Structure 1
Amino acid sequence: MKEPCVYILASKSYGTLYIGVTSNLIGRLTQHRDGSLPGFTNRYGVRMLVRFEMCEWMEQAILREKQLKRWRRQWKINLIESENPGWIDLAVGLGLPPLPVAERCDGC
């Protein structure tokens, strides 16, 4: 069953952000976390799920992704903090294991 979703990943609190869209959030998160998706998220260690929105149709998810990508960085931060002020990794609540400490804090 496909569940269209737009999601925001972060490298750490207030770190590098990535906005993506998928029809299988758990599957896509697993790919980001295990490094099997080459590119931006792998290069910058962006693996922590900080926000997601489920959509009824994939077209809605794609439009929302494009809208969020046009937003200023501070607007994106405000959106994240409106529902996740502690920047916790929401993937754990979806059943994925916690990220290793070194990956959560981006070298802190």
Structure 2
Amino acid sequence: MKRFIYIITDRNRNNLHVGLSSDLLKTLEFYKQMPTLFFDSAQQLTRLVYFEEINSEEMAMERFKFVSTFTRMQKERMIRAVNKEWVDLTIGLSQEGNTRVRPQLRPSISPRRAVTF
């Protein structure tokens, strides 16, 4: 099962929160629904600035523990390595989640109408 390590921040980049999730879109939706759960309303965690997808639960937990021990400067370097402008990655992630692979289409078979004179 896939796991995600993510870093989410507020609009002013004051807080960097590291998290672990199995469903990143659902977790981000939770942050939007409960904006003042961790901080006051001025520091709402709304911007996903970094995430990693890991296939193993054990490896994800180890990586989460490791990243959680980082200093702020180390987290900022990690974010800037992949997201220099600190763009909110939620938009692209939700668009990717909404796309579906279209099944192979077959031509439609419509009954022919009989022409009578």
Report the counterpart of residue 46 of structure 2 in structure 1. Answer: 47
Report the residue type matching 2:94 in the other structure: G
SS state at 2:51 partner: strand
Q: Which residue of structure 2 lines up, in the alignment, with residue 100 of structure 1?
A: none
* Higher relative contact order (Cα pairs below 8 Å, separated by 6+ residues): 1
Runs of 4+ in structure 1 deviating by more than 3 angstroms, as ranges, are 41-44
- CA–CA distance in 2 between the matches of 1:85 and 1:33? 24
Q: What residue number does 2:55 align with?
A: 56
Distance 1:92 1:41 in 2: 23
Structure 1 unaligned segments of length 5 or more: list them. Answer: 97-108
CA distance in 2, matches of 1:14, 1:62: 25
C-alpha spacing 1:58/1:87, structure 2 compared with 1 (3 Å): same
Larger fraction in helix: 1
Map Cα deviations across residues 15-39 of structure 1 (whole Å, 9 max, x no partner).
Answer: 2110000110111111011217x73
Check conservation: 1:32, 1:41, Cα contact below 8 A.
Answer: no
Gaps of 5+ in 2: 96-117
TM-score with structure 1 setting the length:
0.77
**Greater Cα radius of gyration, structure 1 or 2:** 2
Q: How does 1:9-48 map to 2 (within 5 A)?
A: 9-12=8-11, 14-35=13-34, 39-40=37-38, 44-48=43-47
Is 1:14–1:77's contact at 8 Å kept on the other side of the alignment?
Answer: no
| C-alpha separation in 1, matches of 2:76 and 2:12 | 9
- Identity %, equivalent residues: 27
SS of 1:85's partner is coil
Aligned match of 2:112: none
- Say yes or no: does 1:93 pair with 2:92: yes
